[in-house]
Structure 1
Amino acid sequence: MRILGNIIWLIFGGIVIALEYFISSFILIITIIGIPFGLQTLKLGILALWPFGTEIKSNPSSTGCLSTIMNILWILVGGIWISLSHLLFGILLAITIIGIPFAKQHFKLASLALTPFGKVPV
């Protein structure tokens, strides 16, 4: 089911979402100040390519105040808009019975897009 879900995900928009994340990651990594944010969008892009079968876990080594500060900065700069877009797509997909598994994946991406620092997709 995971492989079939991931293939259908890629065909119906997952590849476009992942490409958007990879392009924004590349643009952020070009600037020296944006490297930490570019790495987080790279994490989101990898999860957007293959979301079925992965979980979001907290990274126990990054429980300090730096990840909290970076998450606050992330939310202010654009994380809220990324998260809201995934929430909107998740709600739209949850209306139909067929779209519920894909809505769950958008909700998973929304939670990671809101606070990506200190979390790892497993």
Structure 2
Amino acid sequence: MRTLLNFLNFILGGFFTTLAWLLATLVSVILIITWPFTRSCWEITKYSLVPFGNTTVHVDILYPEDHNAVLSSGGTLLNLLWLVLFGWWLCLSHILTGIGQCLTLIGIPPGIAHFKLAAIALWPVGQRVVPVELAEELHINPDRRRYR
């Protein structure tokens, strides 16, 4: 079922949002000041391509033993810079794609996935894409992003 939903997402507009994330990834590689965004961009590019069967988890939850000083101290600043440079237009692309998909009955599940991606597009630094099974194993509710 996940494969079918991922294929449906790809056909109904997920391809274009994945290209937008890929463009953001390439721009973040080219510009030196945006290098800290590259990992998050790449992670969410994969998530945009295959949203069903995956979820995002913050690195602090995924790797509690590693304390990343950059994410602790500068993560908010990086996310604010991201919001200004890339986040708003990526969020808008996911919202428009989600609305377009929800106009069709069969596109509602991928449309909802794009609304989730729109929220992630605004604040992606520190997010990692993991299989839903791993998130459940870590006792994280993928829909609420909290511990159960």
TM-score by length of 2: 0.71
Closer, same or farther: CA 45–89 of 1 in aligned 2, 3 Å: same
| Larger fraction in strand | 2
RMSD: 2.0
Bigger radius of gyration: 2
| Higher mean C-alpha deviation, range 75-84 or range 92-101 | 92-101
Q: Is the 8 A contact 2:12 2:101 kept in 1?
A: no
Query: 1 CA distance for matches of 2:82 and 2:28?
Result: 13
User: Within 5 A, what are the aligned runs for 1:1-40?
Assistant: 1-40=1-40
Which ranges in structure 1 are unaligned for 5 or more consecutive residues?
none
Which ranges in structure 2 are unaligned for 5 or more consecutive residues?
61-66, 131-148
2:125 aligns to what? 117
Paired residue secondary structure (1:98): coil
Paired residue secondary structure (2:33): coil
1:88 aligns to what? 96
| Cα displacement string for residues 6-60 of structure 1 (whole angstroms, at most 9, x for unaligned residues) | 1222233323322332233123202322212233222221111111111122221
Paired residue secondary structure (1:117): coil
Tell me which amino acid in the other structure corresponds to 1:96. T
- Report how far residue 73 of structure 1 moved: 1.1
Number of corresponding residues: 122
TM-score by length of 1: 0.83
Give percent identity, aligned residues only. Answer: 36
Tell me which amino acid in the other structure corresponds to 2:77. I
Tell me which amino acid in the other structure corresponds to 1:109. L
